[in-house]
């Protein structure tokens, strides 16, 4: 029989030792329960032993094993290092939980909740059930402002549409805090430098209207000396560069006076125009906290200074006028930065001779060097060199030399802290991080299939604000030259359009728009979204327009060319959406949806370039299938080489749980998706069709283990197919086949990786 107790009586005492198996909250107001269930759960003070896979208490199991039989060091290790002490039901914690729930509900407007609890179930599996009757909340029926200063009152009234307090809403404490902060920010952005949120108070009248309707009063009284309610203007701005105690490179200089600020460089080679574009504040303008914060952010974003200090000093001249002085002190960072990053790498690979697919493993090293303030305008010249060796294995590939795949890549970026050519726009986006990047790169790659050289040049604009980064690439030019490294492959390509498209020299001139969103907070225990959307990539538009305008003829190859090389036309978009759902500190679920489409047209109406196509399978995709072993669609023939597509659909779900402390983790996952051709090419079931594509989805499932070292995650995943589109339609559900251990072994795929798959 359950034990029923009110939460305000003395603690329940029992001679029985009850093990806490579960906490459960029953909210009687079912229509609003979903809005408060998670918050009430967070008030619980005693939680059961940790579960993995949602049910199994591995830590508790190890502890119990360590208590059986004769004690020794190994059993002590099991109990205290791996195991977890059983959680015993403690009514002190239950009472504290009830009080915490009561206090929380009052912050939500429920002033008379009734919370009772029951301890149910057998001793070994006790459930603490919290029965919560929230009652009726007080709602805001009328809002009155009691603001002594008429000017402040007019500012608050003019911006009341942005208020967190709304008629008909419950009186929620968090909304009052948000409103207090909003009004404070509003006034400080309108010149009220001395105003603090403590000047704002609220009062309630819950009697006048009855029926749980309340009048809410917003109060701002004048302080005794009235100085805090003065508006402040900016008098002067002093910017000085402090070389720091250990520096001998700088020497004192007389300050230079400009229209908007006074600049003491002390020998540091930074042009005053950089500060002019960075400072969002100016003399004789009203003080604004928003512009002060924006100035601080922009100075930090220059990446030139290891310390940025902004000190605002008030000057009270008389009762009617008040001003502030800005003293900005900057301590430069080192001009040169250099780093070396060794890497263990894995990549997906296809043997184009045999058609076999597999993973390569190897070593790489990345050398990065930055030169700050290279042209005295806060520019950063960045070099990145990567060299990699991989062991490529598979049928018909010799085992010597061991490392038979080589890559060398050099990137150079010149980063400007502004939008070149759009300085007015740069100034308008005062609360974002704006950059212009001129980039160039050269890559050389050689493996058992090909030798490839890639040259590229690009111009990129970036806008970053809080959780959002927006990128525009007006122009990028890439030249790709590929040669055969295999005679058999060279002969095979003469009758294979797919291989011909891979090994053709390509000229790609494109423009892109990209968006990146991440609302992950500093707090780790939160759910969050990550979205990467390549909104649109257009290639070949400018050369196509030139050929159309001047009616230029095609080359002997039957295509239009630029600089003697065929150029590509295509439009591409790709979105990768991920949701990390936090369950508790030991369990979370990650969902991912990836959609992509690339449409070739005009001068390349059959294929998009090889590097721009979609592929599936492998350690970071559908893990039950080898890399590049799926598609397009359900098309599958012997010795098939082309496993690329113009359209991609992929969905993943992975349940991640902690096994041992925070280092050893487990995962259960399911992956689904495929790639398709957009245009008919004569291959059966290779083209995307709305009424058939779902029959051609590959589905796989499995489990994995991770070693999480914080700075590095090592991963191993075991997976098997559930639906295999490479088989005929009525045999694609392959899960029943695994009743035969031999079939299960043959179908198993083992993936090794570094980092999480998504």
Cα(98)–Cα(87) distance, rounded to whole angstroms?
19
Cα(39)–Cα(22) distance, rounded to whole angstroms?
17
**In this predicted structure, what is the pLDDT of residue 262?**
95
What is the mean pLDDT of the segment spanning 694-711? 92
pLDDT tens per residue across span 728-744: 999 999 999 999 999 99
Cα(4)–Cα(438) distance, rounded to whole angstroms?
71
Cα(687)–Cα(680) distance, rounded to whole angstroms?
6
HSE-CB for 36 with a 13 A CA cutoff: 24
Helix axes 91-107, 33-41, angle to 10 degrees: 130
- Contacting residues for 46 by C-beta, under 8 A, at least 6 apart: 20, 23, 87, 89, 90, 93, 94, 97, 128
**In this predicted structure, what is the pLDDT of residue 244?**
62
Q: 3-class DSSP state for residue 115?
A: strand
Band of the pLDDT at 6, cuts 50, 70, 90?
A: very low
Query: Which neighbouring-strand residues pair with 673?
Result: 650, 698
638 CB-contact burial (10 Å; exposed 0-12 / middle 13-18 / buried 19+): exposed
**In this predicted structure, what is the pLDDT of residue 652?**
97
HSE-CB for 126 with a 13 A CA cutoff: 24
Cα(298)–Cα(418) distance, rounded to whole angstroms?
10
pLDDT tens per residue across span 210-223: 889 999 999 998 87
Cα(211)–Cα(216) distance, rounded to whole angstroms?
15
Cα(13)–Cα(36) distance, rounded to whole angstroms?
30
Q: Are strands 450-465 and 528-539 parallel, antiparallel or unpaired?
A: unpaired
pLDDT tens per residue across span 33-50: 888 988 899 899 999 988
CB 94 within 8 A of CB 46: yes
Cα(229)–Cα(221) distance, rounded to whole angstroms?
10
Cα(670)–Cα(378) distance, rounded to whole angstroms?
48
Count of CB atoms situated within 10 Å of the CB of 463? 17
Residue 247 confidence (pLDDT) above 70: no
Q: Which pair of structure tokens corresponds to residue 285? A: 């303008």
HSE-CB for 171 with a 13 A CA cutoff: 24
Band of the pLDDT at 134, cuts 50, 70, 90?
A: very high
Q: Which pair of structure tokens corresponds to residue 130? A: 């919290």
Q: Of all helices (H) and strands (E), which one includes residue 241?
A: strand 232-241
What is the mean pLDDT of the segment spanning 680-695? 92
Residue 4 confidence (pLDDT) above 60: no
Cα(194)–Cα(313) distance, rounded to whole angstroms?
11
CB 332 within 8 A of CB 246: no
pLDDT tens per residue across span 298-323: 899 899 999 999 999 998 766 567 89
CB 685 within 8 A of CB 696: yes
**In this predicted structure, what is the pLDDT of residue 66?**
83
Band of the pLDDT at 3, cuts 50, 70, 90?
A: very low
Band of the pLDDT at 12, cuts 50, 70, 90?
A: very low
Structural domains for the chain = 3-48+87-133 (3.10.20.310), 139-229 (3.10.20.310), 232-332 (3.10.20.310), 613-758 (2.40.160.50)
pLDDT tens per residue across span 424-450: 787 777 678 889 999 999 999 988 777
HSE-CB for 545 with a 13 A CA cutoff: 6
CB 66 within 8 A of CB 79: yes
List the one residue out of 471, 473, 479 whose CA is nearest residue 441. Answer: 479
Residue 557 confidence (pLDDT) above 80: no
Q: List the beta strands (DSSP E) in 485-569.
A: 506-518, 528-539, 561-562, 565-566
Count of CB atoms situated within 10 Å of the CB of 20? 21
Band of the pLDDT at 354, cuts 50, 70, 90?
A: low
List the one residue out of 596, 560, 591, 731 whose CA is nearest residue 671. Answer: 591
The residue that leads in pLDDT, 681 or 721, is 721
Q: 3-class DSSP state for residue 380?
A: strand
What global pTM score does this model have?
0.80
The residue that leads in pLDDT, 397 or 183, is 183
Q: Of all helices (H) and strands (E), which one includes residue 181?
A: helix 173-188
The residue that leads in pLDDT, 242 or 710, is 242
Q: Which pair of structure tokens corresponds to residue 308? A: 């940025």
CB 346 within 8 A of CB 619: yes
Least confident of 81-85, 507-511, 689-693, 716-720: 81-85
CB 120 within 8 A of CB 52: no
**In this predicted structure, what is the pLDDT of residue 13?**
37
**In this predicted structure, what is the pLDDT of residue 250?**
62
Question: For a pLDDT cut of 70, what percent of the chain falls above it?
Answer: 90
Name the CA dihedral angle for 702, 707, 712, 716, rounded to a multiple of 10 degrees.
-30
pLDDT tens per residue across span 363-399: 889 999 999 999 999 999 999 999 999 887 666 677 7
List the one residue out of 262, 193, 203 whose CA is nearest residue 233. Answer: 193
Alpha helices in 78-149 (DSSP H): 91-107
Band of the pLDDT at 2, cuts 50, 70, 90?
A: very low
The residue that leads in pLDDT, 1 or 468, is 468
Query: Which neighbouring-strand residues pair with 590?
Result: 580, 654
Task: Report the 3 state secondary structure along 134-156.
Answer: CCCCCEEEEEEEEECCHHHHHHH
Helix, strand, coil % (nearest 5) of the chain? 20, 40, 35
Residue 175 confidence (pLDDT) above 50: yes
């Amino acid at each position: 029989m359950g034990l029923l107790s009110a939460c305000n009586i003395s603690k329940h005492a029992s001679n029985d030792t009850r093990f806490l198996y579960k906490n459960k909250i029953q909210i009687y107001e079912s229509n609003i329960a979903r809005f408060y269930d998670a918050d009430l759960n967070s008030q619980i003070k005693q939680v059961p032993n940790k579960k993995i896979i949602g049910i199994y208490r591995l830590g508790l199991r190890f502890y119990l094993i360590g208590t059986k039989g004769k004690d020794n060091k190994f059993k002590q290790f099991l109990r205290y290092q791996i195991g977890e002490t059983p959680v015993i039901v403690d009514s002190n914690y239950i009472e504290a939980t009830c009080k915490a729930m009561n206090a929380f509900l009052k912050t939500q407007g429920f002033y008379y909740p009734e919370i009772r609890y029951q301890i149910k179930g057998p001793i070994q599996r006790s459930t603490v059930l919290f029965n919560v009757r929230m009652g009726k909340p007080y709602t805001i029926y009328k809002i009155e402002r009691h603001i002594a200063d008429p000017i402040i009152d007019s500012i608050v009234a003019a911006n009341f549409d942005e208020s967190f307090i709304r008629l008909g809403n419950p009186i929620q404490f968090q909304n009052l805090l948000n409103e207090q902060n909003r009004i404070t920010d509003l006034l400080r952005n309108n010149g009220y430098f001395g105003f603090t949120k403590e000047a704002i108070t609220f009062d309630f009248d819950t009697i006048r209207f009855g029926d749980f309707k309340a009048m809410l009063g917003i109060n701002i009284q004048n302080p005794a000396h009235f100085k805090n309610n003065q508006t402040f203007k900016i008098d002067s701005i002093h910017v000085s560069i402090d070389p720091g105690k250990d520096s001998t490179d700088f020497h004192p200089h007389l300050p230079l006076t400009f229209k908007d600020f006074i600049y003491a460089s002390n020998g540091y080679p930074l042009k005053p125009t950089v500060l002019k574009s960075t400072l969002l504040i100016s003399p004789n303008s009203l003080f604004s906290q928003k512009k002060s914060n924006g100035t601080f952010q922009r100075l930090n974003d220059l990446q030139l200074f290891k310390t940025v200090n902004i000190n605002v000093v008030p000057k009270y001249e008389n009762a009617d006028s008040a001003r502030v002085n800005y003293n900005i002190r900057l301590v430069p960072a080192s001009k040169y930065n250099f780093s070396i990053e060794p890497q263990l790498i894995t990549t997906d690979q296809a043997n184009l001779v045999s058609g076999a697919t597999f993973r390569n493993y190897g070593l790489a090293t990345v050398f990065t060097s930055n030169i700050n303030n290279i042209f005295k305008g806060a520019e950063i010249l960045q070099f990145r060199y990567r060299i990699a060796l991989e062991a490529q294995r598979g049928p018909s590939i010799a085992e010597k030399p061991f490392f038979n795949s080589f890559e060398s890549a050099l990137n150079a970026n010149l980063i400007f802290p502004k939008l070149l050519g759009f300085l007015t726009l740069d100034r308008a986006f005062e609360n974002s991080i704006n950059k212009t990047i001129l980039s160039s790169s050269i890559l050389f790659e050689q493996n058992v299939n090909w030798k490839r050289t890639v040259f590229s040049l690009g111009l990129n604009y970036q806008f970053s604000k809080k959780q959002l980064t927006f990128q525009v690439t007006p122009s990028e030019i890439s030249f790709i030259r590929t040669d055969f490294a295999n005679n058999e492959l060279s002969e095979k390509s003469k009758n294979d359009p797919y291989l011909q498209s891979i090994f053709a020299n390509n000229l790609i001139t494109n423009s892109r728009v990209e968006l990146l969103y991440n609302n992950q907070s500093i707090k780790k225990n939160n759910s969050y979204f990550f979205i990467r959307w390549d909104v649109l990539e257009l290639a070949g538009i400018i050369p196509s327009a030139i050929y159309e305008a001047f009616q230029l003829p095609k080359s002997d190859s039957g295509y239009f060319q630029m600089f003697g090389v065929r150029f590509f036309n295509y439009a591409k978009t790709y979105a990768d959406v991920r949701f990390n759902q936090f369950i508790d500190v030991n369990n979370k679920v990650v969902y991912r949806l990836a959609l992509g489409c690339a449409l070739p047209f005009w001068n390349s109406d059959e294929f998009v370039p090889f590097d721009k196509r979609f592929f599936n399978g492998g350690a970071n995709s559908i893990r039950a299938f080898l890399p590049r072993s799926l598609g397009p669609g359900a098309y599958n023939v012997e010795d098939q080489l082309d496993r690329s597509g113009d359209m991609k659909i992929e969905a993943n779900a992975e349940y991640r749980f902690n096994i041992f402390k925070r280092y050893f983790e487990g995962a259960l996952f399911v992956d689904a998706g495929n790639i398709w051709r957009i245009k008919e090419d004569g291959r059966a079931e290779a083209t995307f069709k709305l009424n058939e594509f779902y029959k051609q989805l590959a589905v796989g499932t499995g489990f994995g283990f991770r070693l999480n070292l914080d700075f590095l995650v090592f991963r191993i995943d075991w997976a098997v197919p559930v639906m295999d589109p490479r088989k005929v339609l009525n045999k694609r559900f392959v899960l029943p086949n695994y009743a035969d251990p031999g079939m299960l072994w043959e179908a198993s795929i083992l993936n090794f990786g570094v980092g999480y798959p998504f």
